[in-house]
Structure 1
C-alpha cells in the first residue's frame, strides 16, 4: 500500500479527539466515500454528513412547476439533463408531462440543446439551466453559441447557484467542510481561505481514494490545534486563481440574484440570472411565466437532509415509499443525492470497493 495512504488511514482510524462533524458539500464526494468504503474506517467520534452539494436536489419544487408550465401551457420543447426529468413538482414530474404529450428531450450537454434548436426551427426550445459554478459556464457557452448562430428559438430557464452563501448558511451545522474540488477548480481558493476569518474551516478534496483519505486526515490533524484552518488537498486540479476564463464567460451573460434553495430557503445573492441585455433568452420573460409557488410533499425530509440535520434513514419514506424506482424526493432521484447514495450502498458504511 502507498505510504501516504497508510499514513492517512492511520490518522483517521487512530483519531481520539473530540467529536467532529465533517460535511461533504459535493454529492460526488458522498457517493465516492460510500463506494470506496471510507466510512467503515471512521471512528465513532468522526461523523460525515451530507450537505447541499447536489444541484438537482437543491432546486426548488417551483422550478419544476415552471418547466412543466412551459412544456404544457406554452408548448415549448424542454431540453434537460436526465435527473431533472423525474424530480417531483407540486403535481407531477416532467416525465409525467412527457407521458401526456409534452416535448421533453434529455441532453448530455447544453450545446446539445443548441443543436436541437437549430435542427427544429419551428419549436421553441428551453434548456433547464441548473448547477453550481462547475456547470454554469457550459450553459453560458451554449447561450453564446445560440447568439452567434442567430437562433431565435433558444432560451434558458435558470436555476444556477453559487456556493458562498450556502457555506455561510451551513456553518453552524458542521465543524469542517470537505470543499467540492470541481467548484473550487472554477472559483479558486480565495473564498474558503477568506471564510477562515469567520471561523469556518475546511479542506478542498479530490475524488480518488488517496485524495479523499488525505483530505479527511488533514481535517482531523488540523482540528486538534483548535484553530480555524484551510488546506488545498487537490492541487493537481485546483489552483489559487481558479479558472478566470470560465468566470469571465459567466459574468458576460449572468449576474447575481437572490435564489431559493430546497431546505435552506432564499439565500441572498446566491443565484445567477441572465443580464437584462439577454432578456429575450430568459424563458421567464420570454414566455411570461406567472409566479408559481411550489408545494413540497410534507412527508419528504429532503430539506432537513440537505441541511445536514438528518440522515436519509431518518426520513419515514426512505426505502419504503421512496426508492430510486419510485422517488418521492429529489435526494433519491439525483445520482448525486444523499438518499440515492445511502440506498445504493446500504447506508451502513461497509467497504464496497
Structure 2
C-alpha cells in the first residue's frame, strides 16, 4: 500500500468527480465502523455505501432457527450458542421464546466453550449452533476434532457455516466494488478475490481503523476512474495472499463444501460447509434425524432486500417502529453486526 494512498486518502475522496459508484461492504464490523467514524459524511454525493451479506447471524435462514428450536424442545438437547442467535425470530418464535417453554439454552463465547460444557455434563446432549464465515469456522472444526479425539460423544454441531467467495459472485451486479472483510481474508488469503477480477468483480481488502478504511475508499475511487476491474490489498499488515495455512487445513480436514441457503439470497451453490462423513457422529442433523424445514420469515420484514443492497434499513416500514433492538422482527436488527442495528444505533442517517 503506497504512500500516495495513505497520505492523501482524504484528498482523493473529496476530489472525486467521476461517475456514480456503489461500494458494498460485506462485514458487520465495517458497517458499524464506517458509521462510528463518520466516513459517510465525507463521501461525495456520487458515492453510495451499501450493506451486503456480511453479518453471519443475518444471513442465517429462518429454517435454521426452527431446527435449533426443534432440537431443544423435541429432542431435549442443551443448545449452546452465541448470544445474538437467541433472539433471532424463527417461523413462530425465537430461542428465547423456546427457553421460556423449558428449552435449555446456554450462552457461550466460543465453540470450545460449548465443547467444555459437553465434556463436563456427560448426562446432557449438547448441540452448538455453528454459525459464521471463514473466521469462526476453524474453532468449530477444532472443537469437533477434539471431541472425536477424546471420545466425547454427547457433543455435536448444527452447522450454518458459510464461505464468502460464492456470495461475492452472486452479488457482483449489485455493486461497482466490494470492501472485502480483512479478517476473512486473513484466514483465506486474497487468491479468490484476485481471481474474481477476471469475472469483472472489483474490490479492496480493508482493515478496521480510520486510516485503513479511508485508504480503502481512496483506492476504490482512484481505481474506478481507470475504468477497469481491479483488486488491491489495503490491509497488508494482516492479510497475505496465502492466508492462514493452519486454518484452511483444519477446515478442509473437518468440513466439505455444500449448497446452502442465505437469507435474502436464496440457495448459493457450494457456498456452505458441512461436516465430512468421518464426523457424522458429531453432526446434529444426522445424529438426531432433524426433519426438513422450510422456515417462514415475517413478510413485512425487508432483511432480505437489505442484505442484497436493494434498500437501506430506514426504507423498511418496520424499522425503528415495530422493529427495534428491544423487540427485533428481523435478524438484521438483532445482531450487533447487522445493518439495521447500525442504522438504528447511529440515528438511521445515510449521511
TM-score range, shorter chain: over 0.9
Aligned to 1:33: 34
CA distance in 2, matches of 1:240, 1:346: 38
TM-score (norm 2): 0.98
Map residues 142-161 of structure 1 onto 2, 5 A cutoff.
142-161=143-162
CA distance in 2, matches of 1:283, 1:225: 50
Q: Could you say what secondary structure the match of 2:171 adopts?
A: helix
Tell me the CA shift for residue 101 of structure 1.
1.0
Q: Is the CA contact (8 Å cut-off) linking 1:38 and 1:349 kept in structure 2?
A: no
Aligned to 1:65: 66
Aligned to 2:25: 24
Aligned to 2:242: 241
Map residues 189-204 of structure 1 onto 2, 5 A cutoff.
189-204=190-205
C-alpha distance after superposition, 1:55-83 (max 9, x if no partner): 00000000000000000000000000000
Q: Could you say what secondary structure the match of 2:348 adopts?
A: coil
Q: Could you say what secondary structure the match of 2:180 adopts?
A: strand
Tell me the CA shift for residue 3 of structure 1.
9.5
Q: Could you say what secondary structure the match of 2:291 adopts?
A: coil
CA distance in 2, matches of 1:307, 1:4: 29
Aligned to 1:251: 252
CA distance in 2, matches of 1:281, 1:171: 36
Once the two structures are overlaid, the 10-residue window that deviates more, 241-250 or 340-349, is 340-349
CA distance in 2, matches of 1:307, 1:95: 28
Tell me the CA shift for residue 276 of structure 1.
0.8
Structure 1 residue 168 and structure 2 residue 145: aligned?
A: no
CA distance in 1, matches of 2:226, 2:248: 35
CA distance in 1, matches of 2:349, 2:42: 12
Aligned to 1:99: 100
Aligned to 1:319: 320
Tell me the CA shift for residue 6 of structure 1.
5.6
Aligned to 1:310: 311
C-alpha distance after superposition, 1:200-235 (max 9, x if no partner): 000000000000000000000011100111000000
CA distance in 1, matches of 2:167, 2:5: 32
Aligned to 1:120: 121
Q: Could you say what secondary structure the match of 2:204 adopts?
A: strand
Tell me the CA shift for residue 10 of structure 1.
1.2
CA distance in 2, matches of 1:232, 1:68: 41
Tell me the CA shift for residue 349 of structure 1.
4.8
Tell me the CA shift for residue 14 of structure 1.
1.5
CA distance in 2, matches of 1:332, 1:237: 30
Tell me the CA shift for residue 118 of structure 1.
1.0
Question: What is the aligned-residue RMSD (CA, Å)?
Answer: 1.2
CA distance in 2, matches of 1:6, 1:188: 26
Aligned to 2:230: 229
Tell me the CA shift for residue 347 of structure 1.
2.3
Q: Could you say what secondary structure the match of 1:157 adopts?
A: strand
Q: Is the CA contact (8 Å cut-off) linking 1:37 and 1:349 kept in structure 2?
A: no
TM-score (norm 1): 0.97
Please list every run of at least 4 consecutive aligned residues from structure 1 whose deviation after the TM superposition is greater than 6 angstroms: none
Aligned to 1:187: 188
CA distance in 1, matches of 2:150, 2:170: 41
Q: Could you say what secondary structure the match of 1:172 adopts?
A: coil
Q: Could you say what secondary structure the match of 1:40 adopts?
A: helix
C-alpha distance after superposition, 1:310-352 (max 9, x if no partner): 10011000000000000000000001000000000112256xx
Aligned to 1:329: 330
In structure 2, the CA distance between the partners of 1:4 and 1:220, relative to structure 1 (3 Å rule), is closer
Q: Is the CA contact (8 Å cut-off) linking 2:5 and 2:218 kept in structure 1?
A: no
Q: Could you say what secondary structure the match of 2:119 adopts?
A: helix
Structure 1 residue 268 and structure 2 residue 261: aligned?
A: no
Once the two structures are overlaid, the 10-residue window that deviates more, 305-314 or 3-12, is 3-12
Map residues 263-302 of structure 1 onto 2, 5 A cutoff.
263-302=264-303
Aligned length: 349
